[in-house]
Amino acid sequence: MQAQRVRFYYNYKSTPDSLNKQNVLDELMSVELDIDKKESVFFSQIKLKLESVMAANTIKGIWMMPNSSVRTQYVIEKNFRT
């Protein structure tokens, strides 16, 4: 049986300050759907890439600070199992 995994990319816009509605932040996000496991994960593409680089560098003994260009720090995981 073949796994059914799909990833969608979308542009996420947010206004961090409700008093300053002119300041709209833009970030590339993705949602990964795993049909077989009945799960979905929402995350920032920049965050995914930077965490991968940080993990690889840590193995090499190179320590990095998180990059401030990641505006959306959270990861949302949802399980659809009944």
Give the pLDDT confidence of 12-69 residue by residue, as tens digits.
888 888 999 999 988 888 888 887 778 888 888 888 888 888 889 889 998 877 777 7
Tokens read off for 79: 């399980």
Beta bridge partners of residue 79, listed in sequence order: 39
Q: Which residues touch 39 (CB under 8 Å, ≥6 apart)?
A: 33, 77, 78, 79, 80
Query: What pLDDT score does 19 carry?
Result: 94
Query: What pLDDT score does 20 carry?
Result: 93
The span from the CA of 38 to the CA of 75, in Å, is 17
Query: What pLDDT score does 22 carry?
Result: 92
Per-residue pLDDT for 82 more than 70? Answer: no
Q: Sorting pLDDT into bands at 50, 70 and 90, what band is 3?
A: low
Closest CA relative to residue 76, chosen from 12, 15, 2, 21: 12
